[in-house]
Amino acid sequence: NLTALPGFILLGFSDGAPELQTIIFTTFLSLYILMVLGNLTMILLITTDPRLHTPMYFFLTHLSAIDFCLSTAVMPKTLETFWMGTSHISFLGCFVQLYLFFALAVCECFLLGVMAYDRYAAVCKPLLYATIMSKERCYCMMMLVYAVGFLTSLLHTILLGRLSFCQARNINHFFCELPTLLQLSCSDSHANEIFLAADAGFNIISPLLMILLSYTYILYTILQIPLARERLKAFSTCTSHLVAISIFYGPGLLAYVQLHEESSEDQAKLVSVCYTILTPTLNPLIYSLRNKEVKAAMRRLWVRK
């Protein structure tokens, strides 16, 4: 009996028929397997091939690692929920899941901004690129990205831990998401909601401004190139990153900026699906399918095997 256990009960998509639950479980399991294979393959290719030891691929390695960890923080328990219909998660397990997911999501926000700056340096300052994106600066940027993500998440987790949840323990979601837990609390969560709104503004809007500014300069520089073929070649180096930005920030903005009303809970779950499993699964495909260097590295790895 799940109600006799301390902690929370994840309801998942509990309104679905058993046949639908099986389809959902199979779909999510398949996506998770693809996510694991795709991201670990990207990490293996980049770390083992010296030709890919450049700033762009350094950041791409971290993007793959973040996507892998973000999805893995959520999906095992989510799969259990979909298989069982509902599942129990302890208070500690819920808070750890929330902390890891939120931290890694914020890290990805800022990493996408840093990757936009890297593209700006490559396209607009090619002669100074090696100086601007030195190994030391790349490491410092990543340390800052992780510091912002994990410290921000720690503050949210501490503030959430001060709230009481009384007898309301059914989470109408497939994982422990912060807005859903704030709705569940029987304490005054007004301060948490204000902090979440302000933090969303900083952690989402700030990297977006960095991205918009970088690509404004990139577009201006590309338009100055006289040959159409060279313009297309320069812009093609940015297309994968632009697609990755779109599929990550779109659902993220919908999830954390809009108000979570009860009538839109199912819609909120579908939005969450995008950045918990779809985005981490698609990113390796986005960065490899149109990337000749990654394809060449894959062939070299296959030959060595």
Q: What is the CATH number of the domain that holds 40?
A: 1.20.1070.10
At residue 259, the pLDDT reads: 46
Tell me the DSSP string of 235-293.
Answer: HHHHHHHHHHHHHHHHHHHHHHHS---GGGHHHHHHHHHIIIIIHHHHHHHHHHHT-HH
DSSP 4: G
Assessment of whether the complete model's pTM goes beyond 0.75? yes
- What CA–CA distance (Å, rounded) separates 76 from 60? 24
Q: What is the CA radius of gyration of the chain?
A: 21
Interior angle at CA 17, CA 11 and CA 18, nearest 5: 85
Q: Which of 234, 236, 8, 3 is nearest to 126 (CA)?
A: 234
Residue 66 CA to its chain's centroid (Å): 7
Q: What is the pLDDT of residues 169-227, one digit of tens each?
A: 888 888 888 888 888 888 888 888 888 888 888 888 899 999 999 999 998 888 888 87
Look up the domain containing 220 and give its range: 2-304
Q: Is 87 helix (H, G, I), strand (E, B) or coil?
A: strand
Residue whose entry in the numeric block shows the structure tokens 């100086």:
131
Q: What is the pLDDT of residues 123-157, one digit of tens each?
A: 899 899 999 999 999 999 999 999 999 999 999 99
Higher pLDDT, 254 or 240: 240
DSSP 163: S
Q: How many domains, in total, are found in the chain?
A: 1
DSSP 17: -
